[in-house]
Structure 1
Amino acid sequence: MSIVDSLDAEFAALDAAGLRRQRRTVTRRQGVQIEVDGHPVLNFCSNDYLGLADHPALVEAAIEGAQRWGVGSGAAHLVSGHFAPHEEAERALAHFVGCEAALLFSTGYMVNAGVMSALVGRGDAIFADRLNHASLVDGALLTRADLKRYPHCDMAALERLLAQSTAARKLIVTDSVFSMDGDLAPLATLLELAERHDAWLMVDDAHGFGVLGPQGRGALAALGLGAERILLVGTLGKAAGVAGAFVAGSSRVVDWLLQKTRTYLFTTGAPPLLAHCLLTALELIHDGDARRAQLNANINRLRAGLAGRFELADSSTPIQPLIVGQNAAAAALAARLFGQGVWVPAIRPPTVPEGTARLRISLSAAHEARHIDALLAGLAANAP
């Protein structure tokens, strides 16, 4: 059997384990009511938490940005690809999250894959929550530092690892809101440990930015936390409704990242029209208290409707995991719901631990009560 033909056996193994992934194509979008592969469905898959991705003001800003700045940036930021809207967006982002400076990236994955290597390397140590996003895991491995993974949110275990470490430089890395469980990291304790053991603290606020804290300023702002040793990562393709990501912190650490982060230095800059559009997105987030109130009402409505009927993870965020257990059962439940016009993704290993396959329900401020009720009715009709 050739190396190419061996893929057929690998595909067969994925099929047998219920782990083969398939893409669906969105053929029409209008808020949370979309068309997928030609079928109208309610969307409970998206991370568009504030419902801004279709907002007319953002569409208008994107058109204006394209007309003024074109589409592509044409080069890396440090060559000729850094435009005035990039500069303005970085200043606005830094101010919004309460930091001195920020650096824009094309994707959140690129931030997490590159930033850690600018701070630590061989002979250093990274301390990471075991349920961190894959991009944080990959970024940590790329540094060649000693990677220590502590049990999920176990601060006693982390403290022991930090105390035992003789590494020259230490970096603690965590999600703020964990993407498959929807729970929150103990950020205040993490900062306390980082200060006690002189470590960097990198917080990926992908699912908190725009949703948590005053005016949606994020998980750190919700707790009133700040320190020069913190690096805050935010994603702009979720609650912000645009695309890209940023890292924010003190001026000197951000300048160091500009000098040393390979995923920033050696890639073409993001389209300037997106940075232009982001300025409008920040205004919408800032003024979005009503949207956040609607989002929280949707969370409460869903959890009340499922209480005692399904196993829900303990989450107060828009990420609401409904635990099914077996891979095939989760995939079958998702397929039945899709056939009834409700799209909820089945999440299976290796994204989540074995035996914890789930439906990952993502809620948005754009969902109305009738949409939540349609999901509840679909789940009730398919209850085991």
Structure 2
Amino acid sequence: MILEELQSELDHLQRDGLRRQRRTLASPCGPEARVDGRSLLSFCSNDYLGLAGEPALVDAACAGARAWGVGSGASHLVSGHLRPHAALEQQLATFTGFARALLFSTGYMANLGIVPALVGRCDAVFADRLNHASLIDAVQLSRADSRRYPHGDLAALERLLAASRARRKLILTDAVFSMDGDLAPLPGLLALAERFDAWLVVDDAHGFGVLGPQGRGSLAHFQLPAARRLIYMGTLGKAAGAAGAFVAGDATVIDWLEQRARTYIFTTAGSPLVACALAASLELIAEGDTRRQRLWQLSAQLREGLAATRWRLLPSPTAIQPVIIGDNHETLRVAAALYEHGLWVPAIRPPTVPRGSARLRVSLTAAHTPQHVARLVDALRGMA
């Protein structure tokens, strides 16, 4: 009976155009992929600066493996915190301008650790309605009162904060929204956090390494200081090209997370060889203005190429360029047609995005070329 129920639910997903499909690559991460015996041009990756296959990172990882082995062997607080981890945390703190940084295995685990460590019963979290699933789950784990405000609506958030009598308040937001590609109004959010004595937790998974001077992230993009009530999360498996995540903030906050964030305390520390690769990655990010400029040029090429066609792009100033279609099955049909043209663009459907807003999520990277983007534009224009 239990298996039949699961199969019935799977059949419903298939019927509604919501069943996900996993593909296995036979090639490293990059714009040109080998899948199911076919060569494809991929617009799926979050490797925004094209560092996942960068030889300098590979060399650093190999040297790290020879010096430190493959595994850390324990959690950070037992015996798994090795010198490469400590050095990387210091680099990340300096790079982002905060007093301290703390490494986590993934961005999802970082978010699940931050929120429940800071708030609980009798507290309140004020979250953007389009926040990532990890932030939504983090609020549920915290057991704090949850208040969701319309996407980017500072006036609505202000009203919710003013009406709250919670012991502690925490404002929670993505910096770059992963399915729309737009930016949170971070200056306004920080001003509200200051006014209402609230934490501001910023998930900069898609801004770190890409936005701001030297790729220092969305806070730097808005020229915001490393305020004491700000808690900054950045991932290291996207623009940084490797794996993991970090949280940066005031020294007292990081000390507290080190003692209370369960997803930090109760898991094995990441591989030291990855920490060594990330140390090299940070240097390339800081020197990566040419890569970031290429991203903006490719983004402009895509938008100009699809102007005056039926394809509606959201007003994204980032490497994420969503093409809104609406219907789940139509979105799948267009993605399949592109696939037949040798172009791999993911079809994103509910519940990842709101119902009726299914889309193609075009992710551009500095490893793409103008010729790659021209192929995608030509294919979409041919379907317009």
Cα distance in 2 for residues equivalent to 1:350 and 1:70: 41
Root-mean-square deviation (Å): 0.7
Q: How does 1:142-181 map to 2 (within 5 A)?
A: 142-181=141-180
Gaps spanning 5+ residues in structure 2: where? none
Q: Does 1:213 align with 2:212?
A: yes
How far 1:308 sits from its partner (Å)? Answer: 2.0
Cα distance in 2 for residues equivalent to 1:49 and 1:132: 20
Task: Call closer, same or farther: CA 1:165–1:30 in 2, change over 3 Å.
Answer: closer
Counterpart code for 2:170: L
Residue by residue, what CA displacement relative to the aligned partner does 1:138-159 show, whole Å, maximum 9, x if unpaired? 0011000000000000000000
What is the SS of the residue equivalent to 2:172? strand
What is the SS of the residue equivalent to 1:5? helix
| Larger displacement relative to structure 2 (302-311 or 356-365) | 302-311
Gaps spanning 5+ residues in structure 1: where? none
How far 1:380 sits from its partner (Å)? Answer: 1.4
What is the SS of the residue equivalent to 1:201? strand
Residue by residue, what CA displacement relative to the aligned partner does 1:80-121 show, whole Å, maximum 9, x if unpaired? 000000000000000001111000000000001111111000
Residue by residue, what CA displacement relative to the aligned partner does 1:205-230 show, whole Å, maximum 9, x if unpaired? 00000000000000001112120000
What is the SS of the residue equivalent to 2:178? coil
Q: Does 1:6 align with 2:1?
A: no
Residue by residue, what CA displacement relative to the aligned partner does 1:121-150 show, whole Å, maximum 9, x if unpaired? 000000000000000000011000000000
How far 1:276 sits from its partner (Å)? Answer: 1.0
Cα distance in 1 for residues equivalent to 2:218 and 2:129: 19
Count how many residue pairs are aligned between Structure 1 and Structure 2.
382
How far 1:29 sits from its partner (Å)? Answer: 2.8
Cα distance in 2 for residues equivalent to 1:187 and 1:29: 35
What is the SS of the residue equivalent to 1:80? helix
Q: How does 1:170-319 map to 2 (within 5 A)?
A: 170-226=169-225, 227-309=227-309, 310-319=311-320
User: What is the TM-score of this pair, normalised by structure 1?
Assistant: 0.99
The aligned counterpart of 1:22 is: 21
How far 1:30 sits from its partner (Å)? Answer: 6.5
Cα distance in 2 for residues equivalent to 1:359 and 1:58: 31
Cα distance in 2 for residues equivalent to 1:373 and 1:28: 23
Q: CA contact under 8 A between 2:29 and 2:52: conserved in structure 1?
A: no
Cα distance in 2 for residues equivalent to 1:6 and 1:220: 47
In percent, how many aligned pairs have the same letter? 61
Q: How does 1:366-381 map to 2 (within 5 A)?
A: 366-381=367-382
Counterpart code for 1:325: G
| Larger displacement relative to structure 2 (3-12 or 293-302) | 3-12
How far 1:336 sits from its partner (Å)? Answer: 0.9
How far 1:165 sits from its partner (Å)? Answer: 0.2
Counterpart code for 1:52: L
Residue by residue, what CA displacement relative to the aligned partner does 1:177-218 show, whole Å, maximum 9, x if unpaired? 000000000000000000000000000000000000000000
How far 1:382 sits from its partner (Å)? Answer: 2.1
The aligned counterpart of 1:107 is: 106
How far 1:330 sits from its partner (Å)? Answer: 0.4
Moved over 6 A (4+): none
Residue by residue, what CA displacement relative to the aligned partner does 1:226-274 show, whole Å, maximum 9, x if unpaired? 2000000000000000100000001111011101000000000000111
